[in-house]
């Protein structure tokens, strides 16, 4: 239909012809056999010229001796004219030399369909906007609740387990069941919680726990919490167990309840980490080594290897350092922005390293004569 016409109705018809015909034959019959039936002003050709009828669309399917299909006529006339045209087309009884039958299937009010589309689209817009607004509100609440805590919500390991940002640096760790528990502990001021989230305890989690001076399990006060505790104890060395009151989940506790439950353990850890450690005058050469690299190394999560002349042999992320330690490498000092673990000690011994310096030491079973020092012991941190 020309751009000047506004379609009001779709006249839809079906047809069957007792012979093989083409689309052009159907359109020719519609125009030719309705011409003059309703007066010259109602001829389809004339109505098309004044933009009252649009381009007629025809679809056909053929068998060995029959053609069937449908036709759609867009019209911008009133409903009475559309009905007259439909009735005229229904009167067609031949297409070419073959008998035919046309039947009106529907006269659709395009404006009603358009109104429905508008309403449906409006509903979709409202739904999306409402969802977006709710999501933004949730994020704002989350920012407020987490912003008021001592740490931030982050993730740990390949499983992206929810945890507080203090998990990496705190000398102790709190294992909880889910992400909501971590957030609740953040609100209470504890940023060293890690959610196991039903995940398999892999080596990275075991190493993290082994690097801490204390591992605390803080679980729901239900039957499931008991099962989880049993599984945890089979995989990780748990030092302290805390449970929410019977029938209550950790995520449901108030910040004050959390503080009351964890206060004694937290106080013990404060006392332990507050003990002064002064280095012997004989450690001064080691302290000088640490002082040399500490400014660039601190908070980098990297490890640096030095030879006897204090020349840097390599500098890599702490997570990759064990793989870099090989015998005959000439490393004398290994200084890292992290925790000295048993796995690191074993690798350092095989590599012939004499001294390892880090922020803290894990619960080590054996050191094999290695000199182990922390930045605190050396009076640097």
| Whole-number pLDDT of residue 172 | 92
| Whole-number pLDDT of residue 223 | 87
Cα dihedral: 81, 84, 85, 87 (round 10): 160
| Whole-number pLDDT of residue 133 | 53
357, 378 in Cβ contact below 8 A? yes
| Whole-number pLDDT of residue 146 | 44
| Whole-number pLDDT of residue 3 | 42
105, 14 in Cβ contact below 8 A? yes
How do 214-219 and 240-243 pair as beta strands? parallel
For the whole prediction, is pTM greater than 0.85? Answer: no
Grouping H, G, I as helix, E, B as strand and the rest as coil, residue 299 is coil
Q: Is the C-alpha dihedral spanning 208, 209, 214, 215 positive or negative? A: positive
Take residue 198 and report the two structure tokens written for it: 């039903």
Q: CATH class for domain 9-109?
A: alpha beta
pLDDT over threshold 70, residue 229:
yes
Strand arrangement of the beta sheet that strand 193-195 belongs to: 153-156, 161-164, 193-195, 172-176, 214-219, 240-243
pLDDT over threshold 80, residue 205:
yes
Which CATH number applies to 281-374: 3.90.600.10, 3.40.140.20, 3.40.50.720, 3.40.80.10?
Answer: 3.40.140.20
Reported as a single tens digit per residue, the pLDDT across 351-377 is 999 999 998 887 777 777 788 898 888
Share of the chain above pLDDT 70, in %: 90
Query: For 145-149, 255-259, 316-320, 328-332, which range has the lowest pLDDT when averaged over its residues?
Result: 145-149
DSSP 62-93: E-SS-EEEEEEEEE-S-HHHHHHHHHHHHT--
Which CATH number does 153-273 carry? Answer: 3.40.1360.10
Q: What residue spans define the domains of the chain?
A: 9-109, 153-273, 281-374
Reported as a single tens digit per residue, the pLDDT across 289-313 is 989 899 889 888 899 999 999 999 9
How far apart are the C-alpha atoms of 40 and 320, rounded to whole Å? Answer: 90
Mean pLDDT, residues 159-164 = 90
How far apart are the C-alpha atoms of 357 and 340, rounded to whole Å? Answer: 8
Confidence category of residue 276, pLDDT binned at 50, 70, 90: very low
Share of the chain above pLDDT 90, in %: 39
Query: For 7-11, 13-17, 116-120, 134-138, which range has the lowest pLDDT when averaged over its residues?
Result: 134-138
Reported as a single tens digit per residue, the pLDDT across 50-91 is 888 989 999 999 988 899 999 999 998 888 888 999 999 999
How do 57-62 and 94-95 pair as beta strands? unpaired
């Amino acid at each position: 239909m020309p751009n000047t016409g506004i379609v009001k109705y779709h006249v839809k018809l079906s047809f069957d012809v007792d012979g093989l015909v083409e689309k052009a034959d159907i359109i020719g019959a519609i125009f030719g056999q309705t011409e003059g039936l309703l007066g010259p002003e109602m001829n389809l050709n004339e109505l098309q010229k004044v933009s009252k009828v649009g381009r007629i669309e025809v679809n056909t399917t053929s068998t060995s001796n029959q053609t069937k299909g449908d036709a759609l006529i867009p019209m911008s006339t009133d409903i009475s004219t559309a009905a007259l045209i439909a009735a005229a087309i229904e009167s067609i009884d031949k297409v070419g030399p073959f008998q035919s039958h046309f039947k009106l299937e529907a006269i659709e009010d395009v404006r009603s369909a358009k109104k429905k589309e508008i309403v449906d689209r409006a509903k979709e817009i409202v739904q999306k906007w409402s969802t977006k607004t709710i999501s933004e509100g949730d994020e704002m609440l989350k920012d407020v609740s987490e912003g008021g805590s001592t740490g931030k919500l982050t993730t740990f390991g390949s499983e992206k387990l929810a945890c507080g940002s203090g998990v990496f640096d705190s000398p102790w760790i709190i294992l909880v069941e889910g992400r909501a528990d971590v957030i609740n502990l953040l609100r209470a001021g504890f940023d060293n919680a890690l959610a196991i989230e039903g995940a398999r305890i892999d080596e990275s989690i075991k190493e993290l726990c082994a690097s801490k001076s204390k591992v605390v399990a803080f679980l729901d006060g239900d039957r499931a919490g008991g099962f989880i505790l049993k599984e945890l104890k089979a995989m990780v060395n748990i030092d302290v167990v805390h449970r929410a009151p019977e029938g209550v989940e950790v995520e449901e506790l108030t910040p004050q309840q959390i503080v009351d439950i964890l206060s004694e353990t937290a106080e013990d850890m404060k006392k332990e980490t507050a003990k002064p450690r002064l280095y012997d005058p004989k450690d001064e050469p080691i302290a000088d080594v640490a002082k040399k690299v500490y400014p660039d190394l601190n908070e980098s999560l990297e490890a640096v290897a030095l030879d006897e002349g204090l020349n840097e042999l390599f500098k890599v992320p702490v997570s990759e350092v064990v793989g870099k330690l090989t015998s005959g490498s000439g490393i004398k000092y290994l200084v890292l922005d992290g925790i000295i673990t048993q796995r690191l000690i074993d690798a350092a011994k095989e590599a012939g390293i004499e001294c390892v310096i880090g922020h803290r030491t894990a619960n080590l079973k054996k050191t094999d004569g290695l000199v182990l020092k922390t930045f605190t012991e050396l009076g640097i941190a």
